[in-house]
Structure 1
Amino acid sequence: MSSSEPLPTPDGQPSMMAAIAEVFRVALPLMISTGTFSLVLFADRTFLLSYDGASMSAAMAGGNLFWVLVCLPVGIVSMTGAIVGQYVGAHQPERIGRFLWQSVWISLAFAPMFAFFAAIAPWLFHATGQPDSLVSLESTYLRLLLIGAVGNVLETALSGFFSGTERTSVIMWVSIASGVLNVVLDIVLIFGLPADPFFGWALPAMGIAGAAIASVIAFWFKAAVYIALLLRPRHQEQYQLIRGWGIDWPMIRNLIYFGVPTGLMYVTEAGGFTVMVLRIGTYGDIPLRATTMAINFNMVAFIPLIGVSIAASVLMGRYLVESGPQRALRNVHAALVIGFVYSATWMAAYLLFPDWMMSLYEHSATDPESVQAIALARNLLKYVAVYVVLDAAQLILAGSLRGAGDTWFVLAGGVTASIVALAIGFWGEPDQAGLHWWWTIITVWVWMLATTMAVRFMQGKWKTMRMV
């Protein structure tokens, strides 16, 4: 046993503290990586609030729709890490390079779809009932983001090699570098640069377009760095990364079989959430702006938990093949402990310090509408506090089920919960002042997702599943 292996208990399984340490070792870099992304989103929207409150609202709606459009391919290639983990557990490293290439080919194949959605962007926002004053801003933001869509999917695929082989610190450092680049570009491109005293040139303020361009550059930057790291000679012999470049249809079919339900689940969750946000947007810019502010703080808590979910998925994939379900189960319990501690800390913060959180927006509030939105957002944090712990549970359990290969149930459960939540929402929607109604629906929706994933996990069917 290597020094990095958890110490066993009398039944041959690692102690809970050892399992927590192992999950934390894999998850912490991923939490920092995804947390960097959440801070970049927070910075994006806060900078846009300083520039123009309407741009902040448009970035929320446009960014959500962008995620809906990319999450099918992102979901498909996000299974790369879990399947690579199973190759590691099966002691077949020589197959990893060829499999990674199949994830790359799938990423590139979605480029025509992104171009199509960029062409019809204004129609998409008009069809959802967005105010005319926001449609132009939302369309500009979405169209520019879609230039980086392939880069976003590609970097997700390539990062799967590093998560699946448990080199998660690489993902952390690449994400930090990308995040710093994004924030710097945000400041320069959103607000512009004054005329240079020597050369006389200036960079005009680009507002929401500048924020989108900064994100696009960051997407492609991450993809380029991952490619450079993968080309290092030490990876070639063990994983045969360059030699495996050809198309392998059985591997593609395997990735699509397990990845499509993951992508469709992302579509379902993102689509359901986007519909709810867009319905809030029909009540006016102030409710949408308040929702954006509250969601920003929700994202700071939620997105790092994706890192714990990825770690649970990868370790499930590895140990289910290598050691059996008992070892995998111990790691899932450890991931839940980490998720609960982290999310409970944020729950306490939402309840105890809402005024301090909202004060971070006050210096950027340059118009009366933003001041009103801040007051509304302060109360919306109570809804986030109600569901944040269960959100952690559903993320980690869904990730664990996907790591075992139970992706089709995760899809079915997610679709059912989303349809029920939206049906209740539209059936009982008030004629006016629907902001709090839709936040109640968001809370109920998360509770249903958590219950569905918990029941499925406890049934134990995942114990007999394999993906390789």
Structure 2
Amino acid sequence: MDKTQMPHSVVPTPGGMREMLAIALPMVVSHGCETLLIFTDRLFLSRLGPEQMSAAMAGGLTSFMMMTFFIGLTGYATALVAQYLGAGERQRCALVVSQALLIALVAYPLILAGRPLAHGLFALAGIAPEQLAPQRQYFDILLYGALPVLLRTCLASFFSGIGRTRVVMLAALVAMLVNVGANYLLIFGRFGVPALGIRGAAWGTLLGSLCGLAVLVAVYFGRDNRQAYGVLDALRLERAVMKKLLRFGSPAGVEMFLNLLAFTVMILIFHSHGLTTATAVTVVFNWDMVSFVPLIGIQIGVVSLVGRYLGASHPEIAERAAISGLKMGWIYSSVILLLFVCLPEQLVEIFRPQGADETFSQAAPLAVGMLRLASLYVLADAVMVVFSGALRAAGDTFWAMTVSVTMHWLLVPLLFVLLKVFQLPPQSAWLALIGLFLCFSGVFYLRYRSGRWKHLAMIGDEPGGPLAVSGGGA
């Protein structure tokens, strides 16, 4: 009897909430760990002063931005692995990962070559000297540690694509625990370790990332996984699969890079408004990260299940999986909404430095108001993340890239004009950004609603590849 026809008491409904939870919940926990890792850096540094905390945010975002094209490109392996698995081509799953690993090795020196450009961007932004020096230190250390981040992305994409998301969760948990412990020792200088301040935060992050990578490597090259997916035989260049990954992953990489570049520029525009605004915005975006990043775990679950069922020619189940992801996203975002509305003062106070600090005292009321305004879009976050995940799983990456990049780069000049030309207060600029963001969430919903994504094909045109998804070409 076909699995889709078995009683509900025997197996979860294909594409239903139980199946989505099994795939996505470990990824939510995984991304929650990544969020806590970054959050801890900034929380510990806030004890040293708001300038250190803001420096970690701007420097960390910029270093990540330098990697994002390749993270987006290699991370698209999740969708390809899921479609190959659904089509019964298990051996090609490991081939996808091998191509991603090759891309990561080539990418590392290219990322390092962009370091002077980032330093120029910092200087151009006109950031206060008290923040600029530690920001450069934090950025440089994280950038030199880019390779473990890229390799983690490649291997995590494999496990996400085949549905073994608990492995990714374990790796993220190890990375978080090592990072938190290392941060405590290195930032403050405990147990005889010298106090390194913001440099200690960066080194702690790299150490955690290396430990997380070690977990993924151990499981990926473990005996069971080697036998099931032919991992060692797949350690080679496969032109057809590489072409596929480059074709569909490049738009995702371009989108991720341009979006984070726009977001980084927006942060720098806010930070150039003064230390008070920089402190308030850093606090708000720390909590915004808590709101948004775990949703990426749900998106990975959507990509995995939607890709798998499209690969198996079951678009109706793929659609059910997307709606299950939306329900899960709304449940999480509703909790965040209540926190932002009911407890903004308490959320802001968590970042108060030790001792009296005039800058933070001036920034706290501004941060409270911005957090309350942020509650207006947290449910829209879930809509955009889930439906964009469904579109990407189907191969509709160019459209998703175009709309998402357009959205982010409309926000940049809007923010600049409001803050620098009209000299409006940060709250007004923040509210305008929220309004534009809500509009674009609706655009992603309408694209999903059109249903065109159900009839795209990604994996049917290479020699020896599996059958295409039913419908027309991409």
Q: TM-score range by the shorter chain?
A: over 0.9
Residues 88-97 or 121-130, more deviating: 121-130
Secondary structure of residue in 2 paired with 1:362: coil
- Taking the aligned partners of 2:353 and 2:6, their CA distance within structure 1 comes to 48
Secondary structure of residue in 1 paired with 2:232: coil
Q: CA deviation at 1:438?
A: 3.2
Give per-residue Cα distances to partners, 1:160-188, cap 9 Å, x unaligned: 11111100111111111110000011111
1:94 matched to 2:102:
no
1:75 matched to 2:72:
yes
1:332 matched to 2:329:
no
- Which residue is 1:370 aligned to? 360
Q: CA deviation at 1:203?
A: 2.4
- Taking the aligned partners of 2:129 and 2:60, their CA distance within structure 1 comes to 17
1:402 is matched with which residue: 380, 387, 392?
Answer: 392
Q: CA deviation at 1:445?
A: 3.8
- Which residue is 2:42 aligned to? 45
AA in 2 matched with 1:235: N
Give per-residue Cα distances to partners, 1:32-89, cap 9 Å, x unaligned: 0001111122111010010232110111111111221111100001111111000110
Distance 1:225 1:401, change over 3 A: same
Q: CA deviation at 1:129?
A: 2.6
**Structure 1 spans left out of the alignment, 5+ residues:** 195-201
2:434 is matched with which residue: 443, 452, 456?
Answer: 443
Q: Is the 8 A contact 2:387 2:445 kept in 1?
A: yes
Q: CA deviation at 1:118?
A: 2.9
- Taking the aligned partners of 1:101 and 1:184, their CA distance within structure 2 comes to 33
Residues 85-94 or 420-429, more deviating: 420-429
- Which residue is 2:132 aligned to? 135
AA in 2 matched with 1:62: G
- Which residue is 2:279 aligned to? 289
- Which residue is 2:465 aligned to? none
Distance 1:440 1:253, change over 3 A: same
**Structure 2 spans left out of the alignment, 5+ residues:** 460-474
Q: CA deviation at 1:315?
A: 0.6
Q: Is the 8 A contact 1:148 1:217 kept in 2?
A: no
- Which residue is 1:423 aligned to? 413
AA in 1 matched with 2:136: S
Q: Is the 8 A contact 1:58 1:134 kept in 2?
A: yes
Distance 1:137 1:420, change over 3 A: same
Q: CA deviation at 1:355?
A: 2.1
Distance 1:35 1:286, change over 3 A: same
- Which residue is 2:292 aligned to? 302
- Which residue is 1:392 aligned to? 382
1:276 is matched with which residue: 266, 282, 287?
Answer: 266
Q: Is the 8 A contact 1:96 1:240 kept in 2?
A: no
Q: Is the 8 A contact 1:51 1:190 kept in 2?
A: no
- Taking the aligned partners of 2:336 and 2:359, their CA distance within structure 1 comes to 27
Q: Is the 8 A contact 1:6 1:14 kept in 2?
A: no
Secondary structure of residue in 1 paired with 2:127: coil
AA in 2 matched with 1:303: V
1:237 matched to 2:237:
no
- Which residue is 1:199 aligned to? none
Q: Is the 8 A contact 2:46 2:352 kept in 1?
A: no
Distance 1:63 1:374, change over 3 A: same
- Taking the aligned partners of 1:48 and 1:425, their CA distance within structure 2 comes to 27
Give per-residue Cα distances to partners, 1:120-157, cap 9 Å, x unaligned: 54322102332233222111111100122111111011
Distance 1:150 1:374, change over 3 A: same
- Which residue is 1:317 aligned to? 307
Residues 291-300 or 361-370, more deviating: 361-370
Secondary structure of residue in 1 paired with 2:235: coil
Secondary structure of residue in 2 paired with 1:245: coil
Alignment of 1:122-271 (within 5 A): 122-193=119-190, 202-271=192-261
Distance 1:287 1:433, change over 3 A: farther
Q: CA deviation at 1:444?
A: 2.8
Q: Is the 8 A contact 1:30 1:171 kept in 2?
A: yes
Residues 347-356 or 112-121, more deviating: 112-121
Q: Is the 8 A contact 1:317 1:403 kept in 2?
A: yes
- Taking the aligned partners of 1:168 and 1:21, their CA distance within structure 2 comes to 14
Give per-residue Cα distances to partners, 1:203-259, cap 9 Å, x unaligned: 221111111111112222222221111111111222111111111122112111111
Q: CA deviation at 1:7?
A: 4.8
What is the percentage of aligned positions where both structures have the same residue? 29
Q: Is the 8 A contact 2:177 2:208 kept in 1?
A: no
AA in 1 matched with 2:319: L
Distance 1:424 1:361, change over 3 A: closer
Q: Is the 8 A contact 2:306 2:318 kept in 1?
A: yes
TM-score, normalised by the number of residues in structure 1: 0.93
Q: Is the 8 A contact 1:130 1:278 kept in 2?
A: yes
2:453 is matched with which residue: 435, 442, 462?
Answer: 462
Q: Is the 8 A contact 1:264 1:411 kept in 2?
A: yes
- Which residue is 1:22 aligned to? 19
Q: Is the 8 A contact 1:147 1:216 kept in 2?
A: no
Q: CA deviation at 1:419?
A: 2.9
Distance 1:421 1:193, change over 3 A: closer
AA in 1 matched with 2:365: A
Give per-residue Cα distances to partners, 1:326-360, cap 9 Å, x unaligned: 11001101110111111012112111111222232
AA in 1 matched with 2:397: T
Q: Is the 8 A contact 1:339 1:392 kept in 2?
A: yes
Q: Is the 8 A contact 1:290 1:376 kept in 2?
A: yes
AA in 2 matched with 1:459: S
Equivalenced residue count is 457
Residues 45-54 or 268-277, more deviating: 268-277
AA in 1 matched with 2:34: F
Q: CA deviation at 1:269?
A: 2.1
Distance 1:46 1:406, change over 3 A: same
- Which residue is 2:402 aligned to? 412
